[in-house]
Structure 1
Amino acid sequence: MKIGITCYPTYGGSGAIATELGIELAQRGHEIHFISYAQPFRLPHFMERVYFHEVETTRYPLFEHNNYSLSLAAMMHEVATRAELDLLHVHYAIPHATSAWIAKEMLGDRHPLRIVTTLHGTDITLVGQERSYFDITRFSIQKSDGITAVSDYLKRETVDHFDVAGDSIEVIHNFVDPELYRRGSHPCRKDTFLRPDEMLVMHVSNFRPVKRVQDVVRIFARIHKSVPSKLIFVGDGPERPVATAEAEALGITDRVIFLGKQDSVAELLACADLLLLPSASESFGLVALEAMASGVPVVSSNAGGLPEVVEDGVTGHLGSVGDVEAMAEAGISILKDNQKWVRMSVAAQKIASERFGANVIVPQYERYYERVLADAPAAAPADVPLMAAAGDD
């Protein structure tokens, strides 16, 4: 198959999954064309059967505001025509599915391009439910030829809020490459941050309010009272000053390290003893899965799709949003009991590989593509006028 993929190329779960999916598909013999305003951060400089098409916005006085959606649609149309794409797989309903629909309309019957839209979260739970975006989000979803959601939770949210039939949405979970995250694949550099008797607690996110980084600091402060440890923050975002201020207020600034954005999260997770993810909401919780693949037990909230990833009492513990005490106690119970830690670490790696490994999930996308393409109408003959091809003569 010849597949176009559009995603946000910056740090974030949707971009990471979209890029890894394209890489996996290329390795399985498909031709992949990434279409975005920048090269996805997880895309190597060169890979066989992988192409990147940069979308440039036109600088013109009348276009006072960014016209990316239109430029993206034009590039999608161009790539679909030149590369003879079978389908466009877009990640996020707006603006990507909207631009894909415009490109499809431009192509018309001569090139019956199919659109698969993967819903990742904030396009449904946050942005899409704003009044100004609601109708265009619903329209873009309903005009897609195939719809996937990364969790059962997100599917329910879409059905409940956007008048989309449940049987039109396929749940295909996010995935990891177990070999990439295998704990023994990376050198552990704990001694860079810790004394030999200390544990390493980690949080990875984009520091948005929904991640509740203030709770991360509060949970860690309680853990540190019982278990000598340090907290490492990976990532950056608007709530970083909140986390810094909370660490200062609790007198643990010497125990908290901010590493900022990092390309190789797998190397860092290989050193971690515990991941904290007390989010107010997670459509899936990709970082929890990556931690599990690295053999790191997870203490998280039970919000959104997290219970579909973290198995309470098996690969970590789940707590109610905001219940700092319960999550801290769970973390202490894991870190102070080596047998429990080993049991959870082994179970986490096993579940990550057997349920969420790339070799399990990527074939689900392939089968879904085939189903969507099987429903595609035949292309109109090139030498027949469009009106005649539509049966109007």
Structure 2
Amino acid sequence: MSQRCDEDGIETKIAWTPWWGFGRWSRSEFVDPHALIGWLPYTAILLPGIALALVAFIRQRPSMVLTNTMTIPSHAIAAKILGIPHHWIVREFGRDDHQLWFLFGYRRTVRLIGSLSDSVVFNSHAVERAMLELDPTMTTHVIYPAVDTELTTPPQRQPGERLRAVLVGYFSEAKGQQLAIEAIAIARNAGVDIELTLVGAGNNQPFRAVAQRLGVDDLVTIDGPTRDVPRYWAAAHVGLMCSQSEAFGRVTVEAMRAGIPVCGTNSGGTPEIIEPGVAGLLSPAGDADALAANLIALEADEGLRRRLAQGALESSQRFGRDRHDGELATILGLR
């Protein structure tokens, strides 16, 4: 990213930036949220980050500051101190999707985000609603992220060929890989074999064990991180989005732009991407039986799968770059 910015004449600086949101490992091993001695050192860690941001802003005199994740507060605080307009882009639920623990508590953190910002921009209405429940006074906007991967022809499935599903995402409980494996097992028990490929970073051994325990390890392929995700879309007939609470889900749109329908979870921002019966099918969060039923329906009706594939390809084009950049520029007062 730094290299690309330099090519476009944008000055970049990579700097140490403290977080105020931590993963579960931080909470369990280092922080007792009920003990003053537990959070005081972490509060002190924020101060150097704020000081560095103050120095940078005093030198550069920016007309606006933009923070691009809810987990880092230093630049928002520095902008507030100096009276510089600040906008905050929030791309995650924080607690419900990544199970983050926040130094000052989740509700207070959301309210601080609102009070430190001229406006807060969300990547889905689902995230916006969740934050407004905690701070109804914040000024909010929703801009769907730009996804400009290549538009490709929907993959064809030959007669007698097994349906192939793919799920791309970091290996974790929240991303729903186990749910996908369970659905494949349910389908097999119903007499339908569907191949599943899981792709992502992180520890995938627990999911290998689940596939073996459920007797579908011959149907499940598990691969590590890759720079060539398009080849997985090209080899699949359906994409999966099984997260319990996905804020937006870029890979959902990537799959649709590759010409494959998506079976997604009816929670988070996913229903804002997938119109059921048009671009894919939805099932309740955590319901492996319902997901299996959707996959079996696509396996049995190739005409339906192809119609959804074409619908996915068409509806994915609303997440274009020009639309995103224009909406963001308007909100930030750049046009």
Q: TM-score range by the shorter chain?
A: 0.7 to 0.9
Which residue of the partner structure matches residue 151 of structure 1?
124
Map of 1:183-194 to 2, 5 A cutoff? 183=152
Q: CA deviation at 1:228?
A: 4.8
- 8 Å CA contact 1:91–1:117 kept in 2: the answer is yes
Per-residue CA distance 1:250-299 (angstroms, 9 max, x = gap): 22223222221223323432332111222221222222122112112111
- 8 Å CA contact 1:124–1:157 kept in 2: the answer is no
Which residue of the partner structure matches residue 70 of structure 2?
93
Structure 2 SS opposite 1:292: helix
Q: CA deviation at 1:164?
A: 3.1
Distance in 2, Cα, partners of 1:84 & 1:159: 31
Change (3 A) 1:365 1:236: same
Q: TM-score, normalised by structure 2?
A: 0.79
- 8 Å CA contact 1:57–1:67 kept in 2: the answer is no
Which residue of the partner structure matches residue 322 of structure 2?
359
Equivalent residue pairs, number: 308
Instruction: From 213, 236, 250, give the equivalent of 1:272.
Output: 236
Q: CA deviation at 1:132?
A: 3.5
Structure 1 SS opposite 2:88: strand
Q: Which amino acid aligns with 2:220?
A: V
Q: Does 1:262 align with 2:237?
A: no
Distance in 2, Cα, partners of 1:304 & 1:140: 20
Which residue of the partner structure matches residue 202 of structure 1?
166
Structure 1 SS opposite 2:197: strand
Q: TM-score, normalised by structure 1?
A: 0.69
- 8 Å CA contact 2:5–2:11 kept in 1: the answer is no
Q: CA deviation at 1:78?
A: 4.6
Q: Does 1:140 align with 2:88?
A: no
Distance in 1, Cα, partners of 2:236 & 2:170: 18
Which residue of the partner structure matches residue 88 of structure 2?
117
Structure 2 SS opposite 1:164: coil
Per-residue CA distance 1:138-185 (angstroms, 9 max, x = gap): 213321112111111111111112x2326x1111122211xx232259
For structure 2, list consecutive stretches of 5 or more residues without a partner in the other structure: 19-39
For structure 1, list consecutive stretches of 5 or more residues without a partner in the other structure: 1-18, 20-38, 191-195, 375-393
Q: Which amino acid aligns with 2:198?
A: F
Distance in 2, Cα, partners of 1:130 & 1:223: 44
Structure 2 SS opposite 1:247: helix
Map of 1:173-322 to 2, 5 A cutoff? 173-177=144-148, 180-183=149-152, 197-223=161-187, 228-237=193-202, 240-322=204-286
Change (3 A) 1:56 1:143: closer
Structure 2 SS opposite 1:94: coil
- 8 Å CA contact 1:92–1:123 kept in 2: the answer is no
Q: CA deviation at 1:357?
A: 1.4
- 8 Å CA contact 2:239–2:260 kept in 1: the answer is yes
Structure 2 SS opposite 1:89: strand
Which residue of the partner structure matches residue 78 of structure 2?
103
- 8 Å CA contact 1:55–1:71 kept in 2: the answer is no
Distance in 2, Cα, partners of 1:129 & 1:156: 19
Q: CA deviation at 1:99?
A: 0.7
Structure 2 SS opposite 1:322: coil
Superposition RMSD on alpha carbons, in Å?
3.2
Q: In percent, how many aligned pairs have the same letter? A: 24
Q: Which amino acid aligns with 1:369?
A: L
